[in-house]
Amino acid sequence: MLVLSSPSGAGKTTISRALLERDDNLTMSVSATTRPMRPGEVDGKDYYFVDEAKFNQMIADGELLEHANVFGNFYGTPRKPVEDALGDGKDILFDIDWQGTQQLAANDSTRDDLVSVFILPPNTAELENRLRTRAQDPEEVVQKRMSKAADEMSHYREYGYVIVNDKIDASVEQVQTILTAERTRIGRQMGLHEFVQELRESD
């Protein structure tokens, strides 16, 4: 479970897309949200768009691995698709904030599978520039995201890795390197014990 978190505009979505294009064993976790659908988004692909009553029911039924309130909207990770993907030997990429990451880190069923990376912008001027050039949010939302960025960035110590996203290609390479290293940990290599036993017996 590879988690990428960052303040809005720091580049985690761009990095995520690049990783998914280059790594066939990586699949995206699709979050449920109560926020309105943006132009061009597809239900079930970008998010599962639900109303607040449905979201609360999902929480009550234990269907979410984590959930958080971000800018007045609720976001959460449906449990079943994640468990199905892990069961099929796939790695899963999460685009969630520090609140959700804390919940995954505190959960006995997900803690050992978790690899967390925090993406920082090179500076606040660049962060604000990226938010404005997206042209998806009104001015008051941009200002709200900027004011919240300082709080979000204060949680970097809770992550296993931190990357400063100055150049996107270099940042993608860094995350790919982290992913490759974490995949080769002894506890994550399926069938390793049996493979070593066969090697020993063949001598």
SS (H, E, C) 115-181: EEEEEECCCHHHHHHHHHHHCCCCHHHHHHHHHHHHHHHCCHHHCCEEEECCCHHHHHHHHHHHHHH
Using DSSP, state whether 75 is helix, strand or coil.
Answer: strand
The whole-model pTM stands at 0.86
Res 10 pLDDT > 90: no
Q: How confident is the model at residue 9 (pLDDT cuts 50, 70, 90)?
A: confident
| Mean of pLDDT values over 61-82 | 93
The whole-angstrom separation of Cα 130 and Cα 123 is 11
Nearest to 75 by CA among 90, 65, 86, 85: 65
**Distance between CA atoms of 116 and 129, rounded to whole angstroms?**
26
Integer angstrom CA distances of residue 190 from 79, 88, 93, 94, 114: 22, 11, 19, 22, 16
Tens digits of residue pLDDT in 95-140: 898 999 999 999 988 999 999 999 999 888 777 777 777 656 777 7
**201 pLDDT higher than 90:** yes
Residue 170 is predicted with a pLDDT of 97
109: its two tokens:
């069923």
Structure confidence at residue 125 (pLDDT): 79
Q: Which residues of 67-82 are buried (b: 16+ CB within 10 A; e: fewer)?
A: bbebeeebbbbbbebb
pLDDT at residue 190 above 80? yes
pLDDT (mean) for 31-35: 96
Residue 4 above 90 pLDDT? yes
- Mean pLDDT in the chain? 91
2-186 to CATH, choices 3.90.1310.10, 3.20.20.140, 3.40.50.300, 3.90.730.10: 3.40.50.300
What pLDDT does 42 receive?
Answer: 95
Cα separation, 2 vs 94, in Å, equals 6
Predicted confidence (pLDDT) per residue in 135-186, tens digit: 567 777 778 778 788 889 999 999 999 999 999 999 999 999 999 999 999 9
Alpha-carbon distance 123 to 148, whole Å? 15
Q: Which amino acid is at 39?
A: P
